[in-house]
Amino acid sequence: MHKVTVLEIDATSPHLIEVNKLWHANKATLGFLPDGAFNEYASNRMILVALNPDGECVGYLLYRLSGIRVIIAHLCVREDQRKRGVARLLFEN
């Protein structure tokens, strides 16, 4: 596996567009999110992205907090990057 970097993003991140594209391509298995949900999660800094060495988004993890629990709302890895440990990196960060 090539080196993958995990970053926390906010609503100003250019990677938010790629997160939306990944969700759109996989929404049949990820489920519905209302308009503005990604921006709200990003504004709260609750989106982690996995970037390949070229800076491309190859996955994301969207989460929320409930008391002392962390709830994963979405965990998505680009199809051509699956089975390479990207999901584990996102989860462990």
**What are the pLDDT digits (tens) for 79-92?**
999 999 999 999 99
The pTM score is 0.91
Domain residue limits at 59: 5-92
Q: Which residues contact 92 (CB under 8 A, 6 or more apart)?
A: none
**Which pair of tokens denotes residue 85?**
């440990």
- Count structural domains, the chain: 1
pLDDT of residue 56: 93
In a 10 Å sphere around its CB, with 0-12 CB exposed, 13-18 middle and 19+ buried, how is residue 60 labelled?
A: buried
The CA distance from 70 to 61, in Å, is 12
CATH assignment at residue 65: 3.40.630.30
**DSSP-assigned letter for residue 80:** G
